[in-house]
Structure 1
Amino acid sequence: MRPVRLSVVTAAATVAALTAVTGCADKSDAKGDNGAIEVVAKDDACEVSKKEFPAGHIQLDIENKGAKVTEVYILFPDDRIVTELENIGPGLKRELTAEVKPGDYEIACKPGMKGDGIRQKVKATGDGKVAKRSPEKDAAVAAYRTYVQQQADETLPKVKVFTDAVRKGDIEAAKKAYADSRIGWERTEPVAESFGDIDPKVDVREDGLEKGQKWTGWHRLEKALWQDKKLGAEEKAIADTLDADLAAWVDKVGTAELTPTFMANGAKELLDEVATGKVTGEEERYSHTDLVDFKANVEGAQKSYELLKPVASKNDPKLVAELDKQFAALNTLLDKYREDKSSYEFTSYDKVGKADRKELSDAVNALAEPLSKLAAAVVK
């Protein structure tokens, strides 16, 4: 769930001015021991060790020295996301691997995970040529692009069932269609979020709104259905807006910049979504359909992993064995909460007790730790 995306300043001469305005320090002489770009995130600064680096595979070594939870982005000039790392707690160190072409980018730190954040302009240098990927990597990216487009295409008719019920004022039919309408989105959320402007319109929760932002999308209608128990003219207009916003998403999906590292980081991001929103019950706080989203996130993460598995198996077979084990364990655990494996009818999450939620959380964490190493494994 992403609010406003950050714009990139492209003129090299403005670096000093940008630093002065945003509190973003340039530590051009600093070098990581492993050649990585060091990013020190603070509550009032975003310190980047290199403003120029060779295009190709890069690694950010991130440390949060602030008092707030933060997130770090690499952004394209048009505000699309190359990759991101969320929920970096105070004092934590994390690594982020990405593949970048020559050009201008922005590394952004967002203390508190809200607002415009603090940004630093950077440049990936090179002659414009991109190193040729292996056939296995090309095949993985091509298959993932097909998968993402298919999920998006299949989402629109399911959403129309939901929004038609809203427009008719049929609360029970809308409730029944709600969770199913979200599955394709949840499976491919990192791609949807990469465009920046769509996610805040369709998937934001009330407490995630930016100042002055109107609340639209699925969760606004979820509240109307389960808490307010009414569908008036405003809700029907929001249903129309949801249709239009998701149609725009489907049109954009084919333009997404996809790479093996994007797929690997996206898989980890989906597990982070589970840990921070689904396991806690915050995502679907009115409908309690969190386990549907949970399963869809896991399926999306597993799809990326399975497509990258031929590459990762060559580079890190132990990691692959551990990921196979942890995906199987988490899926087995989720199966406890539905009638059969072909069904998306899950137990209402308000009926899942503390001990069971803890068990789910532990299984997510057990998978998230090795999954965080997948990006590095596919670039070896």
Structure 2
Amino acid sequence: MRPVRLSAAAAGAVVIAMATVSGCAEKADAESEDAVRVTATDTSCEVSKKEFPSGHLQLAVENKGAKVTEVYVLFPDGRIVTERENIGPGTKASITAEIKAGDYEIVCKPGMKGDGHRQKVRATGGKAVKRDPQLDAAVADYRTYVQQQADGTLPKAKVFADAVRAGDIEAAKKAYADSRLGWERTEPVAESFGDIDPKVDVREDGLEDGQDPETDWTGWHRLEKSLWHDKKITARDKELAEQLIKDLTDWQKRVGTAVITPTSMANGAKELLDEVATGKVTGEEERYSHTDLVDFKANVEGAQKSYELLKPVASKNDPDLVKELDTQFAALNTLLDTYRANKNTYVFTSYDKVGKDERKELSDGVNALAEPLSKLAAAVAK
């Protein structure tokens, strides 16, 4: 799910939740002499270099604005090379990415909406990154995993869509969360295309200015609202169910063309934890169905898959980091397991039944994992 527009209160909550994740924990990494410094404000996006060598790019981002922001590096066609969301006011973030020679744009999006402020940049030299063969194997295995998740999503989504088209509310509710697992595990890859996520996974408050919820809002969450809030299935909903399958089929066909690198895998794992911190823990993602913990678990599984594939190299380059990540993944998974009947199902406690103190415990667990996970890209790029 792409980030939504935030009210002042909500933005403040995100800053608090993400302070560990996007702030002080990354300051040391952000001071590299070769880093491209990105200074984001509410009205500008300044970069210290508009030309830099191809290879491993490090962005040292500082948000000097009053709004939560996100920073992207984009290919000319709009696909995402790398990104970092939820960078709070007054905080810094360090982003490591693998980049080939060519033209790109660095984009800052204050308030995490709209086209943002853009700077054209160029990577020069044409030198390919020399990778450990284990990293090439990790990329190949992850590409297989992503395709398997997309392939496995379609049958489950069709069960959900067929129930909607049949007007069977209870059957559609039962199939809803399961239909989303593969998407949630690999969401950063889907988001890298730019145009698919807004069609299938946007919430109503994530619509852009000028978009009409009645005509422009499509995908899972529009149908979620019909099933749990409106408690009825309309002719429009049946059309949306059919469109959902078309859009997911497009995703399935295109996912094999995604640009995947070791650093994009590591950054994607971090993005999945950010998704949990700003959507699932708050209860905003599945506000009608309250199936947030299913999405939460899928996000953690996807992050852990990337980590496990990169772990052999990370273990050589930063053994202390790997030890910490092993500990925090285990702790968060153990905590999540307390909210499901058994470890072999994805039937979790309805999130509206999870109290304030328990949500705080979940949030603390996410932040404890997200902080070391933010260092994984740098570890594999050494």
With normalisation by structure 2, the TM-score equals 0.91
**2-structure distance, mates of 1:326, 1:124:** 36
Contact 1:261 1:378 in 2 (8 A): yes
Which residue, out of 155, 158, 161, partners 2:156?
158
The equivalent residue for 1:269 is 271
1:356 to 349, 355, 358: 358
Indicate the residue corresponding to 1:324 in structure 2: 326
Aligned mates of 1:56, 1:81 — CA distance in 2: 16
Counterparts of 2:43 and 2:334, CA distance in 1:
44
Verify: 1:134 aligned to 2:132, yes or no. yes
Cα root mean square deviation, aligned: 1.3
The one-character-per-residue Cα deviations of 1:279-332 (angstroms, maximum 9, x if unpaired) are 000000000000000000000000000000000000000000000000000000
Post-superposition offset of 1:3? 7.8
Q: Say whether 1:339 aligns with 2:341.
A: yes
- Cα separation, 1, equivalents of 2:338 and 2:209: 41
Name the structure 2 match of 1:310: 312
Assess if the C-alpha contact under 8 Å between 2:98 and 2:129 holds in 1. no
Asked whether the equivalents of residues 339 and 345 of structure 1 are also in contact (C-alpha less than 8 Å), the reply is yes
**Relative contact order higher in (CA < 8 Å, ≥ 6 apart):** 2
Letter in 2 for 1:151: Q
SS of 2:257's partner is coil
Distance 1:191 1:164 in 2: 26
1:3 touches 1:200 (CA, 8 Å); kept in 2? no
Amino acid at match of 2:152: E
Q: Matched residue of 1:196: which SS?
A: coil
1:43-66 CA deviation, whole Å, 9 max, x = no partner? 000000100000000100000000
- Counterpart in the other structure of 1:67: 66
Q: Residues 26-73 of structure 1, C-alpha deviation per residue, up to 9 Å, x if partnerless?
A: xxxxx9752100000000000001000000001000000001000000
What is the aligned counterpart of 2:206 among 205, 208, 212? 208
> How is 1:249-288 mapped onto 2 (pairs within 5 angstroms)?
249-288=251-290
Cα displacement string for residues 106-140 of structure 1 (whole angstroms, at most 9, x for unaligned residues): 000000000110000000001x3413321100000
Percent identity over paired residues: 79
Paired residue for 1:94?
93
Map of 2:242 onto structure 1: 240
Q: Which residue pairs with 1:365 in the alignment?
A: 367
The answer for unaligned runs of 5 or more in structure 2 is 5-29
SS of residue matched to 1:311: helix
Give the whole-Å Cα distance in 1 for the aligned partners of 2:61 and 2:102: 22
Counterpart of 1:171 in structure 2 is 169
Aligned to 1:289: 291
How many angstroms apart in 2 are the aligned matches of 1:260 and 1:324? Answer: 19
How many residue pairs match? The answer is 353
Name the counterpart of 1:125. 124
- CA–CA separation in structure 2 for the residues paired with 1:249 and 1:378: 28
The answer as to whether partners of 1:3 and 1:209 remain within 8 angstroms in 2 is: no
Cα distance between partner residues in 1 of 2:105 and 2:301: 31
- The separation in 2 between residues aligned to 1:355 and 1:252, in whole angstroms, is 42
Q: Which amino acid aligns with 1:215?
A: W
What residue number does 1:35 align with? Answer: 34
CA distance in 1, matches of 2:265, 2:68: 24
The residue type paired with residue 134 of structure 1 is D
SS of equivalent residue, structure 1 residue 344:
coil
**Structure 2 counterpart SS, 1:303:** helix
Residue 145 of structure 1 and its aligned partner are, at CA, apart by 0.1
Contact map agreement 1:192 1:198 (CA 8 A) in 2? yes
Hey, what does 1:24 align to over in structure 2? none
Give the 3 Å change call, closer, same or farther, for CA 250–307 of structure 1 in structure 2. same
Give secondary structure in 1 for the equivalent of 2:195: coil
In structure 2, how many angstroms separate the alpha carbons of the residues matched to 1:90 and 1:224?
A: 36
Distance 1:33 1:357 in 2: 36
* Match of residue 8 from structure 1: none
Distance 2:33 2:122 in 1: 19
Cα distance in 2, alignment partners of residues 332 and 59 from structure 1: 34
Match in the other structure for 2:26: none
Indicate the residue corresponding to 2:185 in structure 1. 187
2:27 is matched with none
Aligned amino acid, residue 317 of structure 1: P
Instruction: Give, in whole Å, the separation in 2 of the partners of 1:267 and 1:3.
Output: 16
CA–CA distance in structure 2, aligned partners of residues 132 and 119 of structure 1? 30
The answer (yes or no) to whether the contact 2:3–2:112 under 8 Å persists in 1 is no
For 2:32 and 2:294, the matched residues in 1 are separated by 43
Answer yes or no: is the 8 Å Cα contact 2:56–2:129 preserved in 1.
Answer: no
**Equivalent position SS for 2:56:** strand
Aligned to 1:81: 80
For the 8 Å contact 2:81–2:192, the answer to whether it is kept is yes
Deviations 1:327-349 (A, max 9, x none): 00000000000011111000000
How far, CA to CA, are the matches of 2:58 and 2:234 in structure 1? 50
Q: How far, CA to CA, are the matches of 1:34 and 1:320 in structure 2?
A: 26
Contact 1:2–1:196, Cα closer than 8 Å, also in 2: no
TM-score normalised per structure 1: 0.91
Q: 1:254 is paired with a residue of what secondary structure? A: helix
Structure 2 counterpart of 1:19? none
